[in-house]
Structure 1
Amino acid sequence: MNEIPFFGRPAAFALRVRQASAALYEQMDQCLQAHGLTLPAYATSLVQTLYHGGPQSVSALAERLGLSHQLASQRLRWLVKEGLVVIDDDPEDRRRRLVSLTSAGQTEGDKLQAFLPRLERAYSDLFNEIGMDLHTGMVDARAALLARPLLTRMQTETGMQAPQRSAG
């Protein structure tokens, strides 16, 4: 079968990031289970944020983690269903709803604190093996993309103008 053009080159970077992300989440789920946690990998950042930051609104959590409100809500629904968080009206602002850990969520957060240093060492081992610190690279890449998006980079490099939308 013929190689698909650009799949082996930097043009497929987003695909490679998605593939690496899928492998990381799948393997992290296995690690979490092996260490007695019930959390799926995708929910660890929410629990970690609530564990250290206390009750917060869904909007605040989404913003802090760089998630859409819809995605944060979807992940929180799982945590509610599992009894790890509750969502209540904010006593100071009835328009807002606050998310907080339950006692089971606090226990899961305690386990997560013991797990994270081991995960960090595993990532350090990976980064040493491949000869690059992907964590710092991804943090820097996101900041650079936010400062100067791909479209701007393409326009700058080629002198290309942004496509005009028809008024029709």
Structure 2
Amino acid sequence: MSVRNQPDPAAVGTLLRHVLELLDGDVAAVYEEQGMAEYRPRFSPVVRALVAQGPLSVRDLAEAIGVTHSAASQTAAQMARAGLVTHTPDPLDARRRLVALTAEARSLLPRIEAEWEATAAAMAELDAELSMPLGELLAEVAQAVGRRPFRERVAAARRTA
């Protein structure tokens, strides 16, 4: 893509989505090349959390991977449709259901882990070309917006304009 076809840097939301599409799209293509067409990059944090902690409620899963309950629920539902997780009753609380890896997901773990490591190495290479590591910058942005939500910043800018 030429520089002329890049999103306007002032359109930050569009630019963020564009960068995410570029990165996630290429990682998804790698999974497809590896024979895992149903597997999505967004599944890896869930898989890693479930491997490390065992079955989790959606609330605990959301906390473990740092997303909203809604995002974790949607990802778990996509993974269930792909045959990678199940939802089973929590033996300690019948009102809750636990997300657990299926045997199919466990059989893919060596390939998932290898691709995770390759993706991390590729990200390190990309980071070396940037003025600061992308992950650090995004974490810094998330912290700043956590301190003062963007809607407050927009409202303040409107008042001063």
TM-score (norm 1): 0.78
Structure 1 position 21, deviation (Å) = 0.9
Distance (Å, rounded) in 2 between the aligned partners of 1:86 and 1:123: 31
Q: Which residue of 1 aligns with 2:83?
A: 83
Identity value in percent:
27
Q: Which residue of 1 aligns with 2:159?
A: 160
Q: Which residue of 2 aligns with 1:32?
A: 31
Distance (Å, rounded) in 2 between the aligned partners of 1:141 and 1:47: 26
Distance (Å, rounded) in 1 between the aligned partners of 2:151 and 2:78: 36
CA contact (8 A) 1:48 1:109 kept: no
Structure 2 counterpart of 1:57, one-letter code: S
Structure 1: 5+ residue stretches without partners: 1-6, 162-168
CA contact (8 A) 1:62 1:68 kept: yes
Structure 1 position 51, deviation (Å) = 1.5
Distance (Å, rounded) in 1 between the aligned partners of 2:130 and 2:158: 36
Structure 1 counterpart of 2:148, one-letter code: R
Distance (Å, rounded) in 2 between the aligned partners of 1:159 and 1:27: 39
Structure 1 position 33, deviation (Å) = 2.4
Alpha-carbon RMSD: 2.3
Structure 1 counterpart of 2:12, one-letter code: F
Structure 1 counterpart of 2:31, one-letter code: L
Structure 1 position 149, deviation (Å) = 1.6
Structure 2 counterpart of 1:83, one-letter code: G
TM-score (norm 2): 0.81
Q: Which residue of 2 aligns with 1:13?
A: 12
Q: Which residue of 2 aligns with 1:165?
A: none
CA contact (8 A) 1:89 1:98 kept: yes
Mean Cα deviation higher: 29-38 or 89-98:
29-38
> Alpha-carbon deviations, 1:90-127, whole Å to 9, x = none?
01100110111112112223322222121111111112
CA contact (8 A) 1:57 1:99 kept: yes
CA contact (8 A) 2:44 2:116 kept: no
Distance (Å, rounded) in 2 between the aligned partners of 1:109 and 1:40: 14
> Alpha-carbon deviations, 1:134-160, whole Å to 9, x = none?
11110111111111222334566x593
Considering Cα pairs closer than 8 Å and 6+ residues apart, tell me whether 1 or 2 has the greater RCO: 1
Larger radius of gyration: 1
1:160 partner SS? helix
2:24 partner SS? helix
